[in-house]
Amino acid sequence: MVKPTKEKVEVGQEFTVEIGAMVHGGHALAYPKGNTAFVRHAIPGESARIRITEVRSKFIRADAIEILNASEHRVQAPCVWAHPGGCGGCDFQHVELSEQRRIKGAIARESLMRHAGVDPGEAEAIPLRDDHGLHWRSRMRWSVDQGGNAGLLAVRTHGVLPIDECILATRAIAAAKVTERQWPGVESVHTVQGSNQAVSIWADRELIDGGRKVTQHVHDREWEIGASDFWQVHPDAAPAIVDFVIAAAAPQSGERWLDLYAGAGLISAFLGEAVGAEGRVHAVESYRSALRDGRRALADLTQVEFIEADVSTWNLPSQVDGIVLDPPRRGAGVEVMAAIAAAQPRAVVYVACDPVAFARDASFLMGAGYALAEFSVLDAFPMTHHMECIAKFVPGAQSDLGPVQAIKVNRIR
């Protein structure tokens, strides 16, 4: 697509454009009057009438308000709130589910090629369930307006929409009917569901209904998790991530592994089982509540040691067999990646919820002598632009490795 010379544009102006590639963040590119526009509600290849919603110095934002030539992948959004100016929770309701997964794979691939100079090949995001991509959100934050009504935020605003039903919420959370109650003086309501369907409801920090902890089962292990601890939102994500990580890591009896950003020890538990009583797993986490819940859940695995530390300042041991890291959205950063390479593990398995931050970290690790051996993308957040990437790095040069492989999963139970 030819990008013409940039002309000044204003919020509210409308243009007819050709929609270009989908980029990370749930929007597609277009170039009205030479401006780089991030367009929501569009699909690559479409022509559309767009309306500008925000003007910044380097880019603008816009909504597709009329589709003039629709993509074959366009579908009717299943939620009535998924429209320009509507709910900000979903990005892809108007896109066929299989195409959403192709787009996510392409964005992860493009990120790695652009930031780390490595092509993982075509990788479609793998579905966790054979369903319609609905009813999976087991943790929801509802915003409350001045009148005490709970709803969800309109896209890129603090305005609360009176959404009576979110079709991404699990059926147990929908049954809690948060939006039918009044919440005077409350800022937000949190609903957290465990594996056993029990839902805890919190109004700000006050527990209103259910237990202080929810029970989470992964394979045949059990955690009691505090509402503020990290836990995967899609009910099938935690077991899938464990299976992919353990398949990629292939931890052996007697080995020493690090689990960085360990949360309540989801991955440490299964690394610990694999390395056995002769091995060792150091689970490094900074959030005290997660550490407490993790120590309790993994009390039977004496080979797993929880360490309360900030990964960015913790001194990594100099010799380990393998390292798993699952950092927050911003990634781990150059110093942590350098420390990981300096520990000379035989394998580094990276779990990432942001493909761009991950690709930058990948470039740091590759610059320190590692190569990308295996890569897969999971569709852990259908209807949204979010995804989970899992990658295995090994020591050596990329050119010596051959093509990057998809992770071959062995279900561990």
* Options 6-14, 41-49, 273-281, 283-291: segment touching ligand SAM (CB under 6 A): 283-291
Per CB under 6 A, does 350 bind ligand SAM?
A: no
- By beta-carbon proximity to ligand SAM, the closer residue of 58 and 205 is 205
CB of 286 to ligand SAM, least distance (A): 4
Burial 293-303 (b: 16+ CB within 10 A, else e): bbeebbeebeb
Burial 372-387 (b: 16+ CB within 10 A, else e): bbbbbbbbbbbbbbbb
79 included as an active-site residue: no
Instruction: Give the bridge partners for 349, in sequence order.
Output: 324, 392
**Could you say which residues in the range 224-243 bind ligand SAM, by CB under 6 A?**
230-232
Copy the structure tokens of residue 67.
Answer: 């589709």
- By beta-carbon proximity to ligand SAM, the closer residue of 142 and 230 is 230
Per CB under 6 A, does 195 bind ligand SAM?
A: no
CB of 298 to ligand SAM, least distance (A): 12
**Which of 79, 90, 166, 353 is the catalytic position?**
353
**Residue 8 neighbours by CB distance under 10 Å:** 9
Per CB under 6 A, does 278 bind ligand SAM?
A: no
d(CA 369, CA 394): 9
For the chain, first and last CA: distance in Å?
A: 49
| Angstrom distances, CA of residue 170 to CA of 177, 183, 284 | 12, 21, 31
CB of 59 to ligand SAM, least distance (A): 28
d(CA 195, CA 221): 11
C-alpha closest to that of 193 among 264, 237, 241, 136: 136
- By beta-carbon proximity to ligand SAM, the closer residue of 263 and 322 is 263
Per CB under 6 A, does 266 bind ligand SAM?
A: yes
- Exactly one of 202, 257, 287, 306 binds ligand SAM (CB under 6 A); that residue is 287
- Give DSSP secondary structure letters for 345-399: -SEEEEEES-HHHHHHHHHHHHHTTEEEEEEEEEE-STTSS--EEEEEEEES-GG
CB of 220 to ligand SAM, least distance (A): 17
- By beta-carbon proximity to ligand SAM, the closer residue of 22 and 351 is 351
> Which residue's CB comes closest to ligand SAM?
263
- Exactly one of 4, 117, 184, 328 binds ligand SAM (CB under 6 A); that residue is 328
Per CB under 6 A, does 286 bind ligand SAM?
A: yes
Element (H, E) at 33: none
Per CB under 6 A, does 223 bind ligand SAM?
A: no
- What's the chain's Rg over C-alpha atoms? 22
Residues acting as catalytic residues: 353
Positions touching ligand SAM (CB under 6 A) are: 230-232, 261-263, 266-267, 284-287, 290, 310-312, 326, 328
